[in-house]
Chains A and B, each alone.
Chain A
Amino acid sequence: MAEVSAQRQHAFRVLMRRHMPRALRVAERIVRDPAEADDIGQEAFMRVWTHAASFDPEVAKFTTWLYRIVLNLTFDRTRRRTFLPLEDAGDVPDMGPHAVERLIADEELSLLNRAMAGLSDRQRGAIALFHMEGLSGEEAANAMNLSAKAFESLLGRARTALKANVQKIQETGSYA
């Protein structure tokens, strides 16, 4: 990061290669739209470049800082958005050797996406950081700029709502 602060593009390219998938993954989990997630990931790294000098490694890890930028951009966009993206269409079936495993994974992902649609952006963010990215409660709270207690409450509500949505989808075949 010190080299990125000194505006060295080579170091910035290495940083993006290492962390861009992380930014896209978290953004996509929250906005549920790959194209919009790509925009957010790009904008997040533009901010990393322009604000690199303000990053203090003694205050936070780079990943925590990056998550915070991505979440802020994501919440800003979803606040402005006046429509919801179409639900994910079914993928083209994979005919490769691991097709069955792939199908199960796709079904799980589809179920999860449908259940996640009923959560708020902040609830999706909490789940993405804690469960998908494997951050500790403290790290996730820090990335979301929340107190540990507030994060615990947010995560608890998110899991309860998600569980209810999953059960509803499994019972009725749709989330309404």
Chain B
Amino acid sequence: MTPDQFRRLAETWGGDVERWPAATREAARRFAASAEGAAVLDEQGRLDRLLAVAPEIDEARADRSSLLVLQRLAAVPQQHRPAWYRRLLRWPTLVPAASLACSAIVGVWLAGAMPYVHSASDPLSVMSGVFDVYSIGLGSVQ
């Protein structure tokens, strides 16, 4: 590392070689051991100390700000659970209800539209019907 490179790094990162980029530290430590290197670091160290001075934030001020945040959060309107009739009017609930209503309407319409057929009451027809029911009972898979 040349003296110029060392000075440029010190002017950027300050007087503490340990805070410089990792790749430069090893060479910088060697140069820092020289009188020239130490003088550069000392000069930058003075600026570092000045830059490290932080505005004083007392606890009461920080607490006041925290309290104001909580007050602002409390003022934000909460999302209430909607009333039951509003929940019923949402489309996911309306789909099954509408299906049921449609089925009922179709059923009533079919009942009105289809002709009513009277079953025959002569003995042959009765016997034939019984037979049919019997044969269905025997033949079907139950």
Question: How many angstroms from the CA of A156 to the CA of B11 in the assembled complex?
Answer: 6
Name the contact of A132 in the complex, choosing from B11, B47, B51, B72 (C-beta under 8 A).
B51
A13 close to B51 (CB less than 8 A): no
Our count of residue pairs bridging A and B at CB distance below 8 angstroms stands at 92
* List of B residues within 8 angstroms of A24 by Cβ: 55, 57, 61-62, 65
Please give the distance in Å from B72's CB to the nearest CB on chain A.
Answer: 6
Stretch at the interface among B13-21, B88-96, B102-110, B128-136: B13-21
Question: How many angstroms from the CA of A41 to the CA of B8 in the assembled complex?
Answer: 35
Name the contact of A13 in the complex, choosing from B19, B54, B59, B66 (C-beta under 8 A).
B66
Contacting residues of chain B (26-62) with chain A, CB-CB under 8 angstroms? 47-48, 50-55, 57, 59, 61-62
A45 at the interface (CB under 8 A from B): yes
A20 close to B51 (CB less than 8 A): no
Residues of B within 8 A of A (CB): 8, 11-14, 19, 21, 47-48, 50-55, 57, 59, 61-66, 68-70, 72-73
* List of A residues within 8 angstroms of B53 by Cβ: 105, 108-109, 112, 132
| Besides the known contacts A21-B62, A131-B48, A132-B52, 7 further A-B residue pairs in the complex with CB atoms under 8 A apart | A25-B55, A46-B73, A108-B50, A112-B51, A112-B53, A131-B14, A131-B51
Q: Taking chain B's interface residues, is the majority helix, strand, or loop, or is none over half, making it mixed?
A: helix
Contacting residues of chain A (7-62) with chain B, CB-CB under 8 angstroms? 9, 13, 16-17, 20-21, 24-25, 28-29, 34, 37-38, 41-42, 45-46, 49
Question: How many angstroms from the CA of A16 to the CA of B12 in the assembled complex?
Answer: 33
* List of A residues within 8 angstroms of B61 by Cβ: 24, 34, 38
Interface pairs (23), CB distance under 8 Å: A13-B70, A16-B65, A20-B62, A20-B63, A20-B66, A24-B62, A25-B54, A25-B55, A42-B72, A45-B66, A46-B69, A46-B73, A112-B50, A131-B51, A132-B51, A137-B19, A152-B12, A155-B12, A155-B13, A156-B8, A156-B11, A159-B12, A163-B47
Please give the distance in Å from B11's CB to the nearest CB on chain A.
Answer: 6
* List of B residues within 8 angstroms of A13 by Cβ: 66, 70
* List of A residues within 8 angstroms of B64 by Cβ: 38
* List of A residues within 8 angstroms of B21 by Cβ: 137, 148, 152
A160 at the interface (CB under 8 A from B): yes
Using CB atoms, name the residue of chain A closest to B64: A38
* List of B residues within 8 angstroms of A162 by Cβ: 47, 51
* List of B residues within 8 angstroms of A166 by Cβ: 47, 50
